[in-house]
Structure 1
Amino acid sequence: AERLFWEIDFLLSPTAPRSYLIAELLEDPVQLNSNMGFYTNYMNLLDLCGLAIPAGFMSNGIPFGVTLVAPRFKEANLLSQALGWERKQQLPMGASSETYSNKNDFAAVSNREDIAVAVCGAHLEGMPLNWQLSERGAKLISATSTSENYRFYALPGGPVKRPGLIRDEQHGCSIHVEVWSLPAKEFGSFVAAIPFPLGIGKLELEDGSWVSGFVCEGMAIEGAEDISALGSWRKYIDELQSRI
């Protein structure tokens, strides 16, 4: 369950079961305060991160909020998702009639001197080559997917197995990726270490945005195993284990 949790963007829950009137709190402050944490008290115990955001108003005019929950160290991803939520909801700021406008994407919560890089295989968190990102100070921004315009292949060779991601607008599908924030000063050395037939190009994510990410020379897929239907390198690795 924990491994699966690292592959999702976030869990969404109410921030509190209900909002209490001041008079109600004065009558039973301890119990009602405990009730308020019904959906969130577990987070510290399980080493999770959470972000509470406004979600609108109920029919009685009382505000309602939701909380985004993710594994530890994924605060940047939650902030990114919250920015997208705010753009779509267009809720008023407090008691005013003004709405908050922010046209930035997840790059808004990244260091401006960093470069967003999408990875899909051996550089994923917990995979054999992830150290090439972590030793350069890269931070995980989000776990997401490409647009439905890609094919995914398990390339021959090794010893570290690698996938090849090819754009195919006719017969493509969506592939799981992680977006990492890599310090710009480390980008050159990271790219220089990538062996043929892989390289860094532009990838289209499921939300229509484009980031730098791993791509593969088209000629390299000859004889490679098409694993597009699995949609994830982790699922392919799990399947390999089951074949043993």
Structure 2
Amino acid sequence: MTGEKVSFGFEDVSEEEKVSRVKGVFRSVASKYDLMNDLMSGGIHRIWKSNTIARLNPQPGELLLDCAGGTGDIARAFVAKAEEVRQRRGGEPAMAIVTDINDDMLLAGLEQRGDDGLIWACADATKLPFPDKCVDVVTISFGIRNVVDIPAALREFRRVLKPGGRFACLEFSHMATKEMQAAYDAYSFNVIPQLGKIVTGDKDSYQYLVESIRRFPKQEKFADMIKEAGFSKVSFTNYTGGVAALHTGWAI
């Protein structure tokens, strides 16, 4: 930790405090995390994630590292899609490692769905406990906003990817027009925290989540950050007018 101030929603706090408070947020909502995602997005987040998996084109024998993987939905979908290909073409089964800095999120995934052969590890995205060039794919979905040092995490993602490996980051983002952003802001600030209070008993955690989206870099800026971390062929695709964006890059 450097002692510099970082954003926690609309607040600026120390890096140590952000780590502690982010852990507290997800410890509080872990058991209802997937349900809240469905309610907040009207289920559309499942389409975004399905599109992400399609873009990654999982193959037999590949190893996925899903950072901030929470309850493991991306990892399970990746392995399942690779298995569909394996049934047609043969090869070794794909595997996935799910990491998250919050053990409560990992436990929620295990308790709700079982391990499904996934590998689970409590780890900080800025200090991954894996060797260089060891995985084929790195993903992070709705988690990069919560990382204390985003450039450091992006460099770690690049470090662990094999040559030719691919990276995908699905994250809430910024709307394409001011009018759309105004409508989205009205919904986010007025509805989501209240929904969080009703479903999880925790309004403050969802207030933070809404605020953290506003502090996250816009699509073009984040794409530049991915390039600066050493990725090639970086691009992004907006979903639902920019409510979310999928950023991709290659380790070349």
Q: TM tier, shorter chain?
A: under 0.3
Structure with greater helix share of residues: 2
* Structure number with higher strand proportion: 1
Q: Flag the structure with more relative contact order, 1 or 2, with Cα contacts below 8 A and sequence separation at least 6.
A: 2
Larger Rg belongs to:
1
